[in-house]
Amino acid sequence: MKLSVGYNFRKYGFLLVISSVLASVIGILLIGSAKEEIQFNQVQGLIIGIVFMLILSVIDYHFILKFYWAIYIAAVMLLVAVKLYGATGGGAARWFVLFGIRFQPSELVKIMLILFYAEFIMKHRENINSIRFLIPCCLLILPPFYLIFDQPDLSTSIMILAIFATILLIAGLTFKIIIPAIVIIVPAIILFLNMVMQPDQKILDEYQQKRILAWLQPDQYASTEAYQQLNSITAIGSGQLTGKGLNNNVIGSVKNGNFISEAQTDFIFSIAGEELGFVGCCGIIILLFIIVLQCIYIAARADDTAGMIIAGGMAGLVGFQTFINIGVTTMLLPDTGLPLPFFSYGQTSLISLFMGIGIVLNVKLQSADYL
């Protein structure tokens, strides 16, 4: 393990650290309000995550990237293992249960793929716009994508593709490739949506199809698939400007009436809307925006392509996942099941995010373009 004693810690990313920790602390308070008995689990996740972040921030990321093929193979093996031996819940096999702790490999795989592609593209950066590079590059994303999609976990598999697309853009993919790709992808998405809306379709599981139908026709699914999202909108709206307060006992509370199940995970933003109001929701969005901006800032000043991809990939991960999660809770998007970064309950997600932030911090420490 390569540590450096020559870092100038005055350029340590303190704003990024403070923003990430503050977001997690607010998340812990919201989780405690939604389901108090699991709050301490998230506190444990935060402590472990901070430890990993601090350790990884002082390990030369170039040393980590030397093992990029091992990282990729480990990511695929984790997904294969969870498919074969994972615990099943809600019709999906997405977790291991180790010593009573539930571990979701797909959350860690997001970070592992960013690291893999950072070095893979770095080694072939002069051929980034050649077909002979793009074909294997795209083929390598297919195994993790399929294994996550088959869990089934459509939302995380979409996130994997979003991160992959972000990485290619950061790496310097030209508009000569981007524009034709858009011309092909947009009609393909429209065709895909049309196909999955058919009653006898076999592409998506039935519950996934119904989530899309509930988004398009909420009135017809108001008591079933659209129930969560409709109540989420009610909760957010009921908080008005400053909210009803954390851990309130208001009788008319959507949360207190248990109208949103498992609100501590995918619908934590609904709890924030009801209890912290418009002001609190804006604060959450601003915090996440600061995290994304800091990652972009570090990416723009990274010393090499690998560092740029690591920081930019983390910006894409946090940014896209935030947009999708808040889009779901406000019914701008169909229900996907993605957590809100740093805020939603989930130890694996929280620890993985802090691991990613730790490596981004090391990219900043090694960048020469800082005062």
Contact 129, 79 (CB under 8 A): no
Q: How many CB atoms lie within 10 A of CB 89?
A: 11
Helix (H, G, I), strand (E, B) or coil at 96: strand
Name the one residue in this structure whose structure tokens are 């957010």.
236
What are the structural domain ranges in the chain? 11-365
Is the dihedral angle over the CA atoms 211, 215, 221, 226 positive or is it negative? Answer: positive
Q: How far is CA 229 from CA 210, 272, 325, in A?
A: 13, 15, 11
Rg (C-alpha) for the chain, rounded Å, is 21
Which three-class secondary structure state does DSSP give residue 92? strand
In the Cβ-directed half-sphere of 13, how many Cα atoms lie within 13 Å?
32
CA dihedral 341, 349, 173, 334 (to 10 degrees): -60
Q: What is the DSSP letter of 37?
A: G
User: How many residues does this entry show for the chain?
Assistant: 371
> Please, are residues 111 and 349 in contact by the beta-carbon 8 Å criterion?
no
- The tens place of each residue's pLDDT in the chain, 371 residues long, gives 556 556 777 888 899 999 999 999 999 999 999 888 899 999 999 999 999 999 999 999 999 999 999 999 999 999 998 888 876 665 566 777 766 667 889 999 999 999 999 999 999 888 888 888 899 999 999 999 999 988 878 888 889 999 999 999 998 888 888 888 888 888 888 887 788 777 777 777 777 788 888 888 888 888 788 888 888 899 898 889 998 888 887 776 777 777 887 788 889 999 999 999 999 999 999 999 999 999 999 999 998 999 999 999 999 999 999 999 999 999 888 887 789 999 999 899 999 999 999 999 999 998 876 54
CA-nearest of 316, 299, 305 to 160 is 316
- Phi first, then psi, for residue 225 (nearest 5°) are -65, -30
H helical segments located in 9-153:
14-34, 39-57, 61-65, 68-85, 105-123, 131-149
For residues 24 and 345, give the distance between their C-alpha atoms in angstroms, rounded to a whole number. 10
Question: Which amino acid would we find at residue 74?
Answer: A
